[in-house]
Homo-oligomer: A and B are copies of this chain.
Amino acid sequence: MPVKSGTQYRERIDAQSVPCWYKGNLITGKRSEHVAFAGLMETQMYMYDLQSDPKFAETMTYASPADGKPVGISFLPPTSADDLRKRREGMNIWANVHHGFLGRSPDYMNTAIMSFYTGADLLNEVSPQYAENLKNYYAYCRDHDITLSHAFIQPYASKISGQLDATEDAIAAKVVDRTEEGLIISGAFMMATQAATSDEIFVYPSPSPAPFDDENPFAFSFAVPNDLPGISLVCRDTYAAESHTNYPLSSRYEEMDNIVIFDRVLVPHERIFFAGSEEMSSRLFSGSNFHIHAGHQVLCRYIAKTEFVLGTIQLLTDTLDLNTEAHVIEKSARVFAGLESLKALALAAEAGAIPDGRGFVLPAPKPLMAANLLFPKLYPEMIEILQLLGSSGVIMIPQEEEFQSDIAPSLNVYLKGNDMASQERNALFRLIWELGSGSFGGRQTQFERFFFGNVLTVSNRLFSVYNKDQTNRQLVRDFLFNTSK
């Protein structure tokens, strides 16, 4: 099967029967027509269609090893630096549609499942069947262009109970039973972004709350269709609205976040990637280099987003005629330098690609981890620049409907900008408001700050690859203690 079309994407989601709670009610109609999902799904339909667009097909697809049909380039397991370049060029086409605002742009999870595929052989020592399951599932996703979401993080409460209670009472996700058909799972996961607009969900609980040497019921990973019996989704309130002019970003890019609840869900054996061993869980996770492969996709997204926000800052300083102000030059230069650093790190990640020891190629980890540390600071800094330069203009913005009303002539006089008509200026400030002050932007800032964990987690990842290296210490030791020089 080849890459799917936008229409196929929509039809699959609309056909799902998973209970999805929104403001106390189950969503009953088509999800593609619900205000919380419609704009995003339209954007993703457009993105999926691009894969078959003759203009982009060659860059965005490659031939499936299964049947030679074109499949998404972000599924490609890289075996050379050139593969990394291909992956990047393909992913960038999507990034230029969503300008980095889709943290769960489908290539993210395509890359994720690909990364676990590269580590599948690690499972052989526990069970060849597990390895087989994971490989099969990857191929299934690739060849059916499955839209995936993921569930890694458990509610805070799981830590309280897990530390205090016996297994039976623990509320952390666990295997509660096993049958001939599969394992019975109960538990809940926070922040499954886009769960309601995906086909399936990939589950990989963070380290289990308690160490059980053998048959640890908290250690497992699997993937299932969203609408298996026992799965429920709970939504937060939506930040989306319909008008592209009033809400230019949320009307297109609002990704709903969900709590996913598993209530005695039967997961078929062939969808289990491992179970029972905490040690296997950590080994597969780190051995698959998830953060590195995904980090490459993420860095492409960071660059696209930085370019978009930078362009917004530039339009703002133009229309406020601020380009000769010292503080504006300094603030802008910080963003320019940030963008140059991200681009350079992407270059370095590919130029420094290394073999992973299992036949695949890894982008250089250090530059990617550096980018993972820099962007969560750069993004809020850019948003703060918009806030500081936009001042009260970020707040006092009429809606587009005023410009079709009897007060429009006055607004056209009073709201024009430097070389910008009032409606265009208003549209720009609506965008800045969404980025810098509205709920959509508020979530984006939180999302980027915690994308790969908090600053300590991300720092620790970089620290652990860096600090064992003695090179720089030796430099100083030689300087201090080697008096020959």
> Which single residue of chain B is at the shortest CB-CB distance from A455?
B330
Residues of A133-184 contacting chain B, CB below 8 A: 153, 155-158, 160, 171
Q: From A190, A400, A483, name the one whose CB has the most chain B CB atoms within 10 angstroms.
A: A190
Q: Chain A, 173-201, contact with B by CB distance < 8 Å: what is the 0/1 string? A: 00000000000000010110000000000
Name A residues whose Cβ lies closer than 8 Å to a Cβ of B: 19, 21, 23-25, 46, 97, 99, 153, 155-158, 160, 171, 188, 190-191, 232, 234-237, 244, 246, 248, 257-259, 261, 263, 307-308, 310-312, 314-315, 318, 320, 323, 326-327, 329-330, 332-334, 336-337, 340-341, 343-345, 347-348, 351, 366-367, 369-370, 373-374, 387-388, 391-402, 404-405, 407, 410-411, 413-418, 424, 427-428, 431, 436-439, 441-443, 445-447, 449-450, 454-456, 458-460, 462-463, 466-467, 471-477, 479-481, 483, 485
B391 touches A367 (CB 8 A): no
B476 touches A407 (CB 8 A): no
> Which single residue of chain B is at the shortest CB-CB distance from A157?
B416
> Which single residue of chain B is at the shortest CB-CB distance from A323?
B467
> Which single residue of chain B is at the shortest CB-CB distance from A247?
B237
Measured between alpha carbons, how far is A428 from B467 in the docked complex, in Å?
18
B236 touches A398 (CB 8 A): yes
B344 touches A367 (CB 8 A): yes
B237 touches A473 (CB 8 A): no
Residue numbers in B under 8 Å from A436 (CB-CB):
442, 446
B475 touches A337 (CB 8 A): no
Known A-B contacts A337-B374, A370-B336; the reply to A475 vs B320 at CB < 8 A is no
> Which single residue of chain B is at the shortest CB-CB distance from A171?
B413
CB distance from A480 to the nearest CB of B (A): 5
Task: Report how many copies the assembly holds.
Answer: 4
Known A-B contacts A341-B345, A347-B344, A348-B344; the reply to A462 vs B336 at CB < 8 A is yes
B402 touches A308 (CB 8 A): no
Q: Supply 23 A–B pairs (Cβ within 8 Å), ascending by A.
A: A21-B402, A46-B485, A155-B414, A158-B414, A234-B407, A259-B398, A261-B407, A261-B414, A308-B472, A310-B472, A312-B476, A314-B473, A318-B473, A326-B327, A329-B456, A330-B456, A332-B459, A332-B467, A334-B373, A341-B345, A436-B442, A437-B445, A438-B442
A-B pairs, 7 with minimum CB distance: A24-B401, A311-B472, A437-B442, A333-B459, A344-B344, A340-B370, A344-B348
Residue numbers in B under 8 Å from A481 (CB-CB):
424, 427
